[in-house]
Amino acid sequence: MSKIIINSLADFEALEGKNLGVSNYFKITQEQINKFAEATLDYQWIHTDIERAKETQFGSTIAHGYLTLSVLPYLWEQIIEVNNLKMQVNYGIEKFKFMEAVRTNDEVRLKVTVKSIKNLRGICKAEMRVSLEIKDRKKPAYMGSVLFLYHFK
């Protein structure tokens, strides 16, 4: 898969309404889940107690919803490369729903569509429709919109 290259606001505007593609698959491991629990102080047993979680409908521990959200920038950078930036800012998350649990060792990938591009006095406000697909599962882990501000040079 080749990345989409963006060098200017005009390049972004040309993508409005278009599907940008998908990232590579990325495996969510128990080690990542444990480190996320440590970083966020969220030690709920469904994430960290492997033996107890085996007895649930999931059959294993599951990733924190916010852990799955936190891999979005990593996966996003596999789809698009934005050049000539002074700064990029995460601006918001809208109408976001967690729809399916990501089990330990599930593989996930990001699918992105450009919902809208706005020129805010030379700053590009990009709204992206995203979904996190889980390999071999019908429902995505989540769907929603993320907003970025791109300050081009």
- 71-76-81-87 Cα dihedral, nearest 10 degrees: -60
Task: Give the domains, in start order, of the chain with CATH numbers.
Answer: 4-152 (3.10.129.10)
Strands (E), the chain: 4-6, 19-22, 26-27, 80-82, 85-98, 107-120, 123-134, 142-152
**pLDDT grade, residue 1 (50/70/90)?**
low
* Cα(141)–Cα(128) distance, integer angstroms: 16
pLDDT over 90 percentage in the chain? 96
Give the count of beta carbons closer than 10 Å to the beta carbon of residue 10: 12
| Residues 73-91: tens digit of each pLDDT | 999 999 999 999 999 999 9
- How is residue 43 annotated by DSSP? -
**pLDDT grade, residue 2 (50/70/90)?**
confident
What is the overall mean pLDDT for the chain?
96
Count CA atoms closer than 13 A to 80's CA, side-chain side.
Answer: 23
- pTM, two decimals, is 0.92
* Cα(27)–Cα(95) distance, integer angstroms: 25
**pLDDT grade, residue 122 (50/70/90)?**
confident
Q: Identify the residue with better confidence: 46 or 2.
A: 46
Mean pLDDT of 22-38: 98
Tokens of 150: 């791109």
Three-state DSSP class for residue 77: helix
Mean pLDDT of 64-70: 97
pLDDT score, position 36: 98
* Residue 112 near residue 129, CB atoms below 8 Å: yes
